[in-house]
Amino acid sequence: MNRDQTDTSYFNVAHRVWGMKDIFVNIYMIRNEDEKSWVLIDAGLKTSFHKIQRMAADLFGEGIAPSAIILTHGHFDHVGSLLSLAELWKVPIYAHPLEFPYLTGGSSYPPADPSVGGGLMAFMADLYPNSPIDVEEYLLHLPDDHTLPGLPDWRYIHTPGHAPGHVSFWREKDKTLIAGDAFVTTKQESALSVILQSKIISGPPKYFTYDWKQSEESVQNLVALQPEIIATGHGQPMSGDEMLDELTALKENFRHRAVPKKGRYVNNPAVADASGVLYVPPKNKNSATPLIAIGLVASVLAFSWVLWSGKVRKEDILSSSGSY
C-alpha cells in the first residue's frame, strides 16, 4: 500500500524498513523480501498502540498482522503496547534470553540513575518504571544461530550494557543497522534535544545504562560493521560518510563522549544473569536542596505538558531561557 503523502507520522529508513516516533521513542516495521509478511521491532509506549495499528494498516493493509514482534530490549518505553498488540494479533514475541526475567515478571531492571546529569530527561529518571511486565504466554527465545524469525536477510547481535539482553539488528546486503539503544542519534538526556530531534550520535541513554564496559564493547562491535544506514531507539535515522565519522569518533572516544562524569553505575556496574538482577550498587547521595527539588518538579510538570501536548513550536523552544 502506498503511503499517503500527507501522513507524516512515520518515516522511511531503508529498503522496506519504516520507523515511527511516539513522543520520544521509535518503533520500526520491516517487510519481508517476499512482500507477504512483516515484523514489528519494539512496541513503544502505551500511547503507541493505536498509532502502530494505523501505521501497519497504511503500509501493509487493514487487519494484516505481523508474523512476529521482536524486541531490542524490554525497558518501559520499548514495551508499553507489547501485551496489547500481542493479544490483538496473537503473534509471538521474540527476545534475547537475558531479557526474559524482565518480560515474565521475574525481575526488575537496575533502577534508572538521575545523577548522570545532562538534562531534564535524566533528572526525571527516578520517575521511569523499571518493574517487569509479563508477556510469557507469547514469549520465545531468539534463535541461537542469530537469525531473525520472519526476516531471512537479517541477523541479530547481542549488544549488552544498556540492558542485559539488548540486541541490535543487521542487514548485510545494504549495511542497515537498527541499533536500539546501544547508541542513539540524539542526546537523550536533554529534553531540548528530544523535542528538536537534534541529530547527534551519542552513547546509550545514560540514565538507564547499567554497565559501561559492556556498552563500550557493544559500540565497538557495531562500528566494526561499518554501517551505511543507522536507525536507533531514539532520534532520527542517519547515513553517509558524516554519520560513519561520528560513529567512529564515538567508538574511539567512548569514555569521554558517552560515559557520564558521575553516576551510580559508572565505576560499579550492576550484575545480572539469566535469572535477573543479582546486584545493584548503592544509590548516589542526593545533594539537591529543597529549592532545587521544587524547581525540578516545576520543570518536570512544564516539560510533561510540552511533551504530551505536541503544540509547542521549535522557534518557541529556541527562544526560551534554556532551562531544559
Helix (H) or strand (E) holding 25: strand 25-31
Q: Are residues 214 and 300 in the same domain?
A: no
Separation of alpha carbons 59 and 55, rounded Å? 6
Separation of alpha carbons 219 and 247, rounded Å? 9
Q: Which pLDDT score, from 0 to 100, does residue 313 have? A: 38
**Helix/strand/coil for 193:** helix
Tell me whether residue 252 is in a domain: yes
Q: Are residues 29 and 173 in the same domain?
A: yes
223 alpha carbon, distance to own chain's centre: 18
Separation of alpha carbons 167 and 39, rounded Å? 15
Q: Are residues 117 and 86 in the same domain?
A: yes
Number of CB atoms found within 10 A of residue 144's CB: 7
Q: Are residues 176 and 314 in the same domain?
A: no
Q: Which pLDDT score, from 0 to 100, does residue 286 have? A: 57
Q: Which pLDDT score, from 0 to 100, does residue 193 have? A: 75
Residue the block writes with cell 559500540: 219
Q: Are residues 94 and 163 in the same domain?
A: yes
Beta strand pairing call for 25-31 and 17-22: antiparallel
DSSP assignment string, 102-118:
HHBTS-PPPPP-GGG-S
Q: Are residues 189 and 310 in the same domain?
A: no
Tell me whether residue 314 is in a domain: yes
For residues 219 and 258, the answer to whether their CB atoms sit within 8 Å is yes
Q: Which of 164, 160, 138, 110 is nearest to 274 (CA)?
A: 164
Q: What is the pLDDT along the chain (324 residues), one digit of tens a residue?
A: 444 433 447 999 999 999 999 999 999 999 998 778 999 999 999 999 999 999 999 999 999 999 999 999 999 999 999 999 999 999 999 999 999 999 999 999 999 999 999 999 999 999 999 999 999 999 999 999 999 999 999 999 999 999 999 999 999 999 999 999 999 999 888 787 777 777 899 999 999 999 999 999 999 999 999 999 999 999 999 999 999 999 999 999 999 999 999 999 999 999 999 999 999 999 877 544 343 444 454 444 444 444 444 433 333 333 333 332
Domain of 252: which CATH number?
3.60.15.10
Separation of alpha carbons 83 and 46, rounded Å? 10
Tell me whether residue 4 is in a domain: no
pTM of the model: 0.87
Q: Which pLDDT score, from 0 to 100, does residue 131 have? A: 97
Q: Are residues 245 and 324 in the same domain?
A: no
Separation of alpha carbons 45 and 47, rounded Å? 5
Number of CB atoms found within 10 A of residue 162's CB: 27
Q: Are residues 235 and 255 in the same domain?
A: yes
Q: Which of 230, 203, 228 is nearest to 218 (CA)?
A: 203
Q: Which pLDDT score, from 0 to 100, does residue 190 have? A: 78
Q: Which pLDDT score, from 0 to 100, does residue 130 have? A: 97
Q: Are residues 323 and 219 in the same domain?
A: no
| Residues whose CB is less than 8 angstroms from the CB of residue 6 and which lie 6 or more positions away in sequence, other chains included | none
Q: With the C-alpha atoms ordered 210, 216, 220, 226, is the resulting torsion angle positive or negative?
A: positive
Helix (H) or strand (E) holding 100: helix 100-103
Q: Are residues 183 and 313 in the same domain?
A: no
**Helix/strand/coil for 132:** coil
Give the residue numbers spanning the domain of 82: 10-279
